[in-house]
Amino acid sequence: MCALCETESSLLSRRRLLGSGAGLLAAATLGTGTAWAKDPKKDAKEPAPNAISADEALKRIMDGNARYAAGNLDNKDFSAGRAARATAQYPIAAIVSCADSRVAPELVFDQAPGELFVVRVAGNFVNDDGLASLEYGVKFLGIPLVLVLGHSGCGAVDATIKVLKDGTKLPGHLPELVNALKPGVEAAIARKPQDLLAEATKENVRHNVQRLSKAKPIVSGMVADGKVKIIGGVYDIESGRVVTL
């Protein structure tokens, strides 16, 4: 064999070796990823990491909330598993949350990235856009639990109360937000509670739980089949605790 052929053969062998080494390294990296970010094509026979019951999902997030309220968070390194998460997502719960900057569901429930599928809007109500997102989550991501999460001192609910009781006029598109929150707030006003804001917050959550439970054609069918559970809860900003309704 000539010197040129020997050189080309050596280079090719070296490239094959480097290529196989990179492949092994990539496989090892994915293998160390967390369960919810496994490659769905790797083993189609394995159940999805979020193929758990709604009760188990609820226990996980409520255990996380207990850790958060106690200041004892498990998830401190949010860079862990980043490469693995690029392959897929397996959230265990969907959270319909208020856009309030003091409410951060991943922190409130002490869950790592990829664990929660969050839909946020001021007043934590479900409109058609939010419903479409939740339909995607339960139908194609396999989410077993949806939690509608209100919170203490909600400005959107308070503004709605002022509009309905005092005739306050709001600028821009804010009246549309009031229209969305109106059913729950009106139900609370009819009860004449001592703490109207707290009761209106709960009623708004209950109203949206009911709306989701009856939302056709996807969510209501999955609820009826026992594949998805819809619940409500209220987050107390001062204590950090979530109470389910």
Considering only residues 16 and 226, tell me which one the structure prediction assigns the higher pLDDT.
226
* Banded pLDDT at 9 (limits 50, 70, 90): very low
The pLDDT of residue 45 is: 73
Backbone conformation region of residue 124, classed left if phi is above 0, alpha if psi is from -120 to 50, else beta? left
Share of the chain above pLDDT 70, in %: 82
Does residue 17 surpass a pLDDT of 60?
no
Does residue 105 surpass a pLDDT of 70?
yes
Q: Taking residues 228-243, report their average pLDDT.
A: 98
- DSSP classification of residue 215: -
Spell out the domain ranges in the chain: 35-244
pLDDT 10s digits, 39-54: 555 555 789 999 999 9
- Taking the C-alpha atoms of residue 224 and residue 245, their distance in angstroms, rounded to an integer, is 20
Does residue 22 surpass a pLDDT of 90?
no
Hunting for tokens 């967390």 — which residue is that?
34
* Banded pLDDT at 110 (limits 50, 70, 90): very high
The pLDDT of residue 16 is: 43
The pLDDT of residue 85 is: 86
Does residue 181 surpass a pLDDT of 70?
yes
Least confident of 10-14, 42-46, 69-73, 86-90: 10-14
The pLDDT of residue 7 is: 41
Backbone conformation region of residue 119, classed left if phi is above 0, alpha if psi is from -120 to 50, else beta? beta
* Banded pLDDT at 83 (limits 50, 70, 90): confident
Q: What pTM, to 2 d.p., does this model score?
A: 0.81
Q: Taking residues 123-152, report their average pLDDT.
A: 98
- Taking the C-alpha atoms of residue 181 and residue 200, their distance in angstroms, rounded to an integer, is 9
- Taking the C-alpha atoms of residue 235 and residue 59, their distance in angstroms, rounded to an integer, is 16
The pLDDT of residue 199 is: 98
Does residue 4 surpass a pLDDT of 50?
no
Does residue 56 surpass a pLDDT of 90?
yes
- Taking the C-alpha atoms of residue 56 and residue 47, their distance in angstroms, rounded to an integer, is 15
The pLDDT of residue 77 is: 73
**CATH number, domain 35-244:** 3.40.1050.10
The pLDDT of residue 18 is: 36
- DSSP classification of residue 141: S
What is the residue-averaged pLDDT of the chain?
A: 86
